Amino acid sequence: MNDNIETKNLRLIFIGAGNIAQSIVKGLLNCSYLNSKQIFVYAPTERNSQIFRDLGCHFTTNVQNVISFETTESNLHFLLFICVKPNIAKQSEFLSMFNEILLKKSNENFLIVSVMAGITLEWIESNLTIENRSNFRDNLVRIMPNTAIEINMGTIGVYWKSSKSSTTNDLLIKKLSELLNQLGKSIKLDNEEQLHSIIGVAGSGIAFILTMIQGMIDGGVSVGLSRNLSRDLVIQTFIGAAKMIEKTGTNPIQLRENVCSPAGTTIAGVEILEQNALNGTIIQAVKKSAERSKELSK
Ligand SMILES: NC(=O)c1ccc[n+]([C@@H]2O[C@H](COP(=O)([O-])OP(=O)(O)OC[C@H]3O[C@@H](n4cnc5c(N)ncnc54)[C@H](OP(=O)(O)O)[C@@H]3O)[C@@H](O)[C@H]2O)c1
Protein backbone atom coordinates (compact mmCIF):
# COMPACT_ATOMS: atom_id res chain seq x y z
CA MET A 1 0.00 0.00 0.00
CA ASN A 2 1.15 3.56 -0.75
CA ASP A 3 2.06 5.57 2.33
CA ASN A 4 0.09 8.50 0.96
CA ILE A 5 -3.42 9.01 -0.31
CA GLU A 6 -3.39 10.94 -3.54
CA THR A 7 -5.58 14.04 -3.41
CA LYS A 8 -7.19 13.08 -6.71
CA ASN A 9 -8.53 9.96 -4.99
CA LEU A 10 -10.31 11.93 -2.28
CA ARG A 11 -14.07 12.49 -2.35
CA LEU A 12 -15.73 14.92 0.04
CA ILE A 13 -19.38 14.49 0.95
CA PHE A 14 -21.09 17.29 2.86
CA ILE A 15 -24.30 16.63 4.77
CA GLY A 16 -25.58 20.19 5.16
CA ALA A 17 -24.92 23.10 2.83
CA GLY A 18 -24.94 26.09 5.19
CA ASN A 19 -22.33 28.60 6.32
CA ILE A 20 -19.66 26.23 7.50
CA ALA A 21 -19.96 23.78 4.58
CA GLN A 22 -19.64 26.75 2.22
CA SER A 23 -16.60 28.10 4.07
CA ILE A 24 -14.80 24.74 3.94
CA VAL A 25 -15.56 24.23 0.24
CA LYS A 26 -14.61 27.79 -0.76
CA GLY A 27 -11.37 27.59 1.22
CA LEU A 28 -10.37 24.32 -0.46
CA LEU A 29 -11.24 25.55 -3.95
CA ASN A 30 -9.49 28.93 -3.40
CA CYS A 31 -6.17 27.17 -3.03
CA SER A 32 -6.96 24.59 -5.73
CA TYR A 33 -6.35 21.77 -3.27
CA LEU A 34 -8.83 19.65 -5.12
CA ASN A 35 -11.24 19.76 -8.01
CA SER A 36 -14.82 20.88 -7.41
CA LYS A 37 -16.08 17.64 -8.99
CA GLN A 38 -14.58 15.76 -6.05
CA ILE A 39 -17.11 17.48 -3.79
CA PHE A 40 -20.67 16.24 -3.30
CA VAL A 41 -23.10 18.29 -1.20
CA TYR A 42 -26.43 17.13 0.21
CA ALA A 43 -29.11 19.32 1.83
CA PRO A 44 -32.85 18.76 2.12
CA THR A 45 -33.73 21.94 0.19
CA GLU A 46 -32.35 23.81 -2.82
CA ARG A 47 -31.79 26.93 -0.63
CA ASN A 48 -28.00 26.87 -1.07
CA SER A 49 -27.79 24.74 -4.21
CA GLN A 50 -26.80 27.54 -6.61
CA ILE A 51 -23.79 28.50 -4.50
CA PHE A 52 -22.35 25.00 -4.83
CA ARG A 53 -23.38 24.54 -8.46
CA ASP A 54 -21.69 27.86 -9.32
CA LEU A 55 -18.55 26.52 -7.66
CA GLY A 56 -18.79 23.42 -9.88
CA CYS A 57 -19.64 20.94 -7.09
CA HIS A 58 -22.25 18.21 -7.22
CA PHE A 59 -25.37 19.13 -5.26
CA THR A 60 -28.38 17.01 -4.43
CA THR A 61 -31.51 17.05 -2.29
CA ASN A 62 -31.88 13.30 -2.78
CA VAL A 63 -29.98 11.15 -0.34
CA GLN A 64 -29.97 8.20 -2.77
CA ASN A 65 -27.64 10.24 -4.99
CA VAL A 66 -25.21 10.53 -2.10
CA ILE A 67 -25.27 6.79 -1.63
CA SER A 68 -24.65 6.09 -5.30
CA PHE A 69 -21.93 8.79 -5.64
CA GLU A 70 -18.73 7.26 -7.05
CA THR A 71 -19.42 3.65 -6.22
CA THR A 72 -17.58 2.25 -9.21
CA GLU A 73 -13.96 3.20 -8.51
CA SER A 74 -12.27 1.11 -5.85
CA ASN A 75 -9.30 3.28 -4.84
CA LEU A 76 -11.30 6.24 -3.55
CA HIS A 77 -11.25 7.66 -0.01
CA PHE A 78 -14.24 9.49 1.40
CA LEU A 79 -14.47 12.26 3.95
CA LEU A 80 -18.03 12.61 5.14
CA PHE A 81 -18.50 16.05 6.71
CA ILE A 82 -21.50 16.47 9.00
CA CYS A 83 -22.38 20.16 8.77
CA VAL A 84 -25.84 20.38 10.29
CA LYS A 85 -27.01 22.07 13.49
CA PRO A 86 -26.80 19.86 16.57
CA ASN A 87 -30.59 19.87 17.05
CA ILE A 88 -31.02 18.49 13.51
CA ALA A 89 -28.49 15.73 14.16
CA LYS A 90 -30.56 14.60 17.14
CA GLN A 91 -33.71 14.10 15.04
CA SER A 92 -34.61 10.51 14.27
CA GLU A 93 -35.11 11.22 10.51
CA PHE A 94 -31.61 12.62 10.29
CA LEU A 95 -30.11 9.69 12.18
CA SER A 96 -31.82 7.12 9.98
CA MET A 97 -30.64 8.94 6.83
CA PHE A 98 -27.11 9.18 8.18
CA ASN A 99 -27.06 5.50 9.13
CA GLU A 100 -28.39 4.58 5.71
CA ILE A 101 -25.48 6.39 4.06
CA LEU A 102 -23.01 4.68 6.38
CA LEU A 103 -24.51 1.27 5.77
CA LYS A 104 -24.03 1.67 2.03
CA LYS A 105 -20.62 3.32 2.27
CA SER A 106 -19.16 1.15 5.02
CA ASN A 107 -17.19 -0.98 2.57
CA GLU A 108 -15.25 2.07 1.45
CA ASN A 109 -12.37 3.91 3.05
CA PHE A 110 -13.93 6.78 4.85
CA LEU A 111 -13.84 9.12 7.83
CA ILE A 112 -16.81 10.85 9.39
CA VAL A 113 -15.81 14.42 10.15
CA SER A 114 -18.24 16.18 12.46
CA VAL A 115 -18.18 19.97 12.52
CA MET A 116 -21.04 20.16 15.03
CA ALA A 117 -20.50 22.08 18.23
CA GLY A 118 -21.49 20.21 21.36
CA ILE A 119 -22.02 16.75 19.83
CA THR A 120 -19.50 14.32 21.25
CA LEU A 121 -17.88 11.41 19.44
CA GLU A 122 -19.40 9.13 22.06
CA TRP A 123 -22.86 10.46 21.21
CA ILE A 124 -22.29 9.91 17.49
CA GLU A 125 -20.99 6.39 18.09
CA SER A 126 -23.92 5.55 20.35
CA ASN A 127 -26.34 6.65 17.63
CA LEU A 128 -24.85 4.48 14.92
CA THR A 129 -27.23 1.66 14.26
CA ILE A 130 -24.80 -0.10 11.97
CA GLU A 131 -23.59 -3.53 13.04
CA ASN A 132 -20.27 -3.59 14.93
CA ARG A 133 -20.51 0.12 15.54
CA SER A 134 -17.47 0.07 17.86
CA ASN A 135 -15.44 -0.71 14.71
CA PHE A 136 -16.39 2.73 13.50
CA ARG A 137 -14.86 4.49 16.51
CA ASP A 138 -11.63 5.02 14.59
CA ASN A 139 -13.52 6.56 11.69
CA LEU A 140 -14.89 9.44 13.75
CA VAL A 141 -13.22 12.85 13.90
CA ARG A 142 -14.42 16.16 15.31
CA ILE A 143 -13.21 19.47 13.97
CA MET A 144 -13.96 22.96 15.22
CA PRO A 145 -13.13 25.58 12.61
CA ASN A 146 -13.87 29.26 12.53
CA THR A 147 -15.19 31.01 9.45
CA ALA A 148 -11.77 32.43 8.47
CA ILE A 149 -11.18 29.03 6.82
CA GLU A 150 -13.01 30.53 3.84
CA ILE A 151 -9.96 32.71 3.17
CA ASN A 152 -7.50 30.00 4.27
CA MET A 153 -6.72 31.82 7.52
CA GLY A 154 -8.84 29.71 9.84
CA THR A 155 -8.12 28.14 13.19
CA ILE A 156 -9.24 24.52 13.42
CA GLY A 157 -9.24 22.31 16.49
CA VAL A 158 -9.15 18.61 15.59
CA TYR A 159 -9.85 15.65 17.82
CA TRP A 160 -10.08 11.92 17.25
CA LYS A 161 -9.73 9.00 19.61
CA SER A 162 -6.43 7.32 18.93
CA SER A 163 -7.19 3.72 19.78
CA LYS A 164 -6.53 0.79 17.51
CA SER A 165 -6.37 2.63 14.26
CA SER A 166 -5.64 0.75 11.06
CA THR A 167 -3.10 1.82 8.49
CA THR A 168 -5.88 3.03 6.19
CA ASN A 169 -7.31 5.21 8.92
CA ASP A 170 -3.87 6.59 9.81
CA LEU A 171 -3.43 7.57 6.17
CA LEU A 172 -6.88 9.13 6.01
CA ILE A 173 -6.28 11.10 9.21
CA LYS A 174 -2.96 12.27 7.77
CA LYS A 175 -4.77 13.30 4.59
CA LEU A 176 -7.48 15.10 6.58
CA SER A 177 -4.78 17.02 8.50
CA GLU A 178 -3.17 18.00 5.20
CA LEU A 179 -6.55 19.16 3.88
CA LEU A 180 -7.32 21.16 7.03
CA ASN A 181 -3.93 22.85 6.90
CA GLN A 182 -4.96 24.29 3.52
CA LEU A 183 -7.70 26.12 5.40
CA GLY A 184 -5.45 27.72 8.00
CA LYS A 185 -3.84 26.32 11.10
CA SER A 186 -5.12 23.00 12.38
CA ILE A 187 -4.29 21.93 15.90
CA LYS A 188 -4.59 18.34 17.15
CA LEU A 189 -6.15 18.34 20.60
CA ASP A 190 -5.28 15.89 23.37
CA ASN A 191 -8.79 15.55 24.65
CA GLU A 192 -12.28 16.25 23.39
CA GLU A 193 -13.08 18.68 26.23
CA GLN A 194 -10.56 21.13 24.72
CA LEU A 195 -12.96 21.65 21.82
CA HIS A 196 -15.09 23.77 24.19
CA SER A 197 -12.08 26.03 24.79
CA ILE A 198 -11.37 26.19 21.05
CA ILE A 199 -14.92 27.41 20.55
CA GLY A 200 -14.36 30.14 23.17
CA VAL A 201 -11.05 31.32 21.79
CA ALA A 202 -11.38 30.74 18.04
CA GLY A 203 -14.80 29.45 16.88
CA SER A 204 -16.78 32.13 18.70
CA GLY A 205 -13.63 34.08 19.52
CA ILE A 206 -13.43 35.44 16.00
CA ALA A 207 -16.67 37.31 16.76
CA PHE A 208 -15.06 38.93 19.84
CA ILE A 209 -12.13 40.15 17.75
CA LEU A 210 -14.58 41.45 15.12
CA THR A 211 -16.38 43.38 17.87
CA MET A 212 -13.08 44.98 18.95
CA ILE A 213 -12.31 45.83 15.34
CA GLN A 214 -15.73 47.45 15.01
CA GLY A 215 -15.08 49.52 18.15
CA MET A 216 -11.71 50.68 16.80
CA ILE A 217 -13.23 51.64 13.44
CA ASP A 218 -15.99 53.61 15.20
CA GLY A 219 -13.29 55.22 17.34
CA GLY A 220 -11.45 56.34 14.22
CA VAL A 221 -14.65 57.84 12.83
CA SER A 222 -15.33 59.63 16.12
CA VAL A 223 -11.92 61.36 15.92
CA GLY A 224 -12.65 62.53 12.38
CA LEU A 225 -11.44 59.82 9.97
CA SER A 226 -13.60 58.65 7.10
CA ARG A 227 -15.03 55.17 7.76
CA ASN A 228 -13.03 53.67 4.89
CA LEU A 229 -9.75 55.16 6.05
CA SER A 230 -10.44 54.13 9.64
CA ARG A 231 -11.29 50.60 8.46
CA ASP A 232 -8.03 50.29 6.47
CA LEU A 233 -5.96 51.59 9.39
CA VAL A 234 -7.63 49.30 11.91
CA ILE A 235 -7.29 46.18 9.74
CA GLN A 236 -3.56 46.83 9.31
CA THR A 237 -3.16 47.61 13.01
CA PHE A 238 -4.77 44.28 13.99
CA ILE A 239 -2.68 42.34 11.47
CA GLY A 240 0.46 44.17 12.64
CA ALA A 241 -0.26 43.48 16.32
CA ALA A 242 -0.96 39.77 15.74
CA LYS A 243 2.10 39.31 13.52
CA MET A 244 4.33 41.11 16.05
CA ILE A 245 3.29 38.68 18.78
CA GLU A 246 3.82 35.73 16.43
CA LYS A 247 7.16 36.84 14.98
CA THR A 248 8.84 38.25 18.11
CA GLY A 249 7.44 35.67 20.55
CA THR A 250 7.04 38.55 23.02
CA ASN A 251 3.93 38.54 25.16
CA PRO A 252 1.25 41.14 24.33
CA ILE A 253 1.54 43.04 27.62
CA GLN A 254 5.28 43.55 27.09
CA LEU A 255 4.63 44.82 23.57
CA ARG A 256 1.97 47.13 24.98
CA GLU A 257 4.37 48.44 27.63
CA ASN A 258 6.90 49.19 24.90
CA VAL A 259 4.52 51.75 23.37
CA CYS A 260 3.34 53.33 26.64
CA SER A 261 5.68 56.27 27.18
CA PRO A 262 5.28 58.19 30.46
CA ALA A 263 2.33 60.60 30.38
CA GLY A 264 1.94 59.76 26.69
CA THR A 265 -1.00 59.18 24.38
CA THR A 266 -1.05 55.37 24.62
CA ILE A 267 -1.14 55.12 28.41
CA ALA A 268 -3.95 57.70 28.39
CA GLY A 269 -6.03 55.33 26.19
CA VAL A 270 -4.92 52.19 28.07
CA GLU A 271 -6.16 53.78 31.31
CA ILE A 272 -9.67 53.96 29.83
CA LEU A 273 -9.51 50.32 28.74
CA GLU A 274 -8.40 49.28 32.23
CA GLN A 275 -11.06 51.42 33.95
CA ASN A 276 -13.65 49.60 31.83
CA ALA A 277 -12.06 46.21 32.50
CA LEU A 278 -11.65 45.29 28.82
CA ASN A 279 -9.27 42.44 29.60
CA GLY A 280 -11.58 40.94 32.23
CA THR A 281 -14.57 41.36 29.92
CA ILE A 282 -12.83 39.43 27.15
CA ILE A 283 -11.85 36.67 29.56
CA GLN A 284 -15.48 36.43 30.67
CA ALA A 285 -16.67 36.28 27.04
CA VAL A 286 -14.31 33.39 26.24
CA LYS A 287 -15.33 31.54 29.42
CA LYS A 288 -19.04 32.07 28.79
CA SER A 289 -18.77 30.80 25.25
CA ALA A 290 -16.88 27.66 26.36
CA GLU A 291 -19.45 27.11 29.14
CA ARG A 292 -22.31 27.46 26.65
CA SER A 293 -20.65 24.86 24.45
CA LYS A 294 -20.51 22.49 27.46
CA GLU A 295 -24.19 23.14 28.22
CA LEU A 296 -25.15 22.37 24.62
CA SER A 297 -23.28 19.07 24.71
CA LYS A 298 -25.40 17.75 27.63
N1 LIG B 1 -21.00 28.81 11.40
C2 LIG B 1 -19.88 28.68 12.11
O3 LIG B 1 -19.07 29.60 12.27
C4 LIG B 1 -19.53 27.34 12.70
C5 LIG B 1 -18.24 27.15 13.23
C6 LIG B 1 -17.92 25.89 13.74
C7 LIG B 1 -18.86 24.88 13.74
N8 LIG B 1 -20.10 25.10 13.26
C9 LIG B 1 -21.07 24.00 13.28
O10 LIG B 1 -21.46 23.71 11.96
C11 LIG B 1 -22.78 23.19 11.96
C12 LIG B 1 -23.57 23.89 10.86
O13 LIG B 1 -23.60 25.29 11.14
P14 LIG B 1 -23.95 26.33 9.97
O15 LIG B 1 -23.65 27.67 10.54
O16 LIG B 1 -23.29 25.91 8.71
O17 LIG B 1 -25.55 26.09 9.88
P18 LIG B 1 -26.55 26.55 8.72
O19 LIG B 1 -25.96 27.65 7.92
O20 LIG B 1 -27.87 26.75 9.35
O21 LIG B 1 -26.64 25.26 7.76
C22 LIG B 1 -27.23 24.07 8.18
C23 LIG B 1 -27.41 23.14 6.99
O24 LIG B 1 -28.02 21.95 7.47
C25 LIG B 1 -28.97 21.55 6.49
N26 LIG B 1 -29.97 20.66 7.06
C27 LIG B 1 -31.06 20.97 7.79
N28 LIG B 1 -31.75 19.84 8.07
C29 LIG B 1 -31.05 18.82 7.52
C30 LIG B 1 -31.26 17.42 7.46
N31 LIG B 1 -32.30 16.83 8.03
N32 LIG B 1 -30.36 16.67 6.78
C33 LIG B 1 -29.29 17.24 6.20
N34 LIG B 1 -29.03 18.57 6.21
C35 LIG B 1 -29.92 19.34 6.87
C36 LIG B 1 -29.58 22.85 6.02
O37 LIG B 1 -30.25 22.58 4.80
P38 LIG B 1 -30.97 23.70 3.90
O39 LIG B 1 -29.83 24.37 3.16
O40 LIG B 1 -31.84 22.89 3.02
O41 LIG B 1 -31.69 24.61 4.83
C42 LIG B 1 -28.33 23.71 5.89
O43 LIG B 1 -27.74 23.54 4.63
C44 LIG B 1 -23.36 23.41 13.36
O45 LIG B 1 -23.44 22.18 14.02
C46 LIG B 1 -22.36 24.32 14.04
O47 LIG B 1 -22.21 23.97 15.40
C48 LIG B 1 -20.46 26.31 12.72
Give the residue, 113 or 106, on which the prediction is more confident.
113
Q: What is the pLDDT of residue 133?
A: 65
Checking phi first, is residue 16 left (phi over 0); if not, alpha (psi -120 to 50) or beta? left
All domains in the chain, ordered by first residue: 7-192 (3.40.50.720), 203-296 (1.10.3730.10)
pLDDT-derived band at 3, boundaries 50, 70, 90:
confident
| Span from the CA of 286 to the centroid of ligand 1 (angstroms) | 23
Single pTM value for the model: 0.91
pLDDT, mean of residues 18-47: 96
Q: What is the pLDDT of residue 107?
A: 62
pLDDT, mean of residues 124-146: 83
Evaluated on CA atoms 39, 42, 48, 49, the torsion sign reads: positive
- Looking at the CA of residue 93, tell me the nearest atom of ligand 1: 31
> Which SS3 state, helix, strand or coil, does residue 190 take?
coil
Q: Which of 84, 92, 96 to mutate to test the pocket of ligand 1 (most atoms within 8 A of CB)?
A: 84
pLDDT, mean of residues 234-241: 98
Q: What is the pLDDT of residue 166?
A: 63
- Other Cβ atoms less than 10 A from the Cβ of 185: the count is 12
| Span from the CA of 198 to the centroid of ligand 1 (angstroms) | 19
First CA to last CA across the chain, in angstroms? Answer: 42
For residue range 192-214, what is the model confidence (pLDDT) as tens digits? Answer: 999 999 999 999 999 999 999 99
d(CA 137, CA 67): 21
d(CA 175, CA 171): 6
